[in-house]
Amino acid sequence: MTIFIQSFDYNLWDLIVDGPNLPTFRDENGDVIPKPMNTYDDNDRRRVQINAKDKHIIVCAINSNDFNRILSCISTKEMWDRLEVTYEGRNQVKEAKISMLVHDYEMFYMNENEDIKSMFSRFTNIIN
């Protein structure tokens, strides 16, 4: 999906990497708050439009289970981070999975009452 988004518009990819650049302003207390939509200028609308395009691309590219995971996300960066954790996992999770598969590979043997075809299928699943 990275290549697809980059090829569509590299500004969309920058938005995922850098996070949203939605229009904001500082109030009397110095707090940064979202700008009301009725005060947007052309540049603000362009930034909001880029975020909306990014969201659209991501939502169209995922299945319903993933959609439920990212439904509550506001920014495309947040969506991407959740999907990245889902599919790539954290380093400790990846290492644990790899360690478990290496153990299964090293301890692999043919079970009693198992035919060659099912044994080979189990072995292929471990290898893949």
Q: What is the amino acid identity at position 79?
A: M
What is the pLDDT, as a whole number, of residue 44?
Answer: 86
Give the pLDDT confidence of 4-28 residue by residue, as tens digits: 888 878 878 888 888 777 788 888 8
The average pLDDT across 86-95 equals 70
> Tokens standing for 50?
């880029």
Least-confidence region, from 34-38, 55-59, 89-93: 89-93
Give the pLDDT confidence of 51-62 residue by residue, as tens digits: 888 888 888 888
CA-CA distances (angstroms) from residue 24 to 36, 40, 87, 107, 115?
A: 8, 10, 32, 58, 65
CA-CA distances (angstroms) from residue 88 to 55, 95, 123?
A: 20, 11, 23
The average pLDDT across 78-87 equals 83
CA dist., res. 127 & res. 119, Å (int)? 12
* Residue 34 φ then ψ, to 5°: -65, 145
Q: Is a pLDDT exceeding 80 seen at residue 115?
A: yes
Domain boundaries, the chain: 2-88, 92-127
Higher pLDDT residue, 99 or 92?
A: 99
CA-CA distances (angstroms) from residue 3 to 7, 52, 126?
A: 6, 19, 29
Q: Which of 123, 83, 84 shows the shortest CA–CA distance to 106?
A: 123
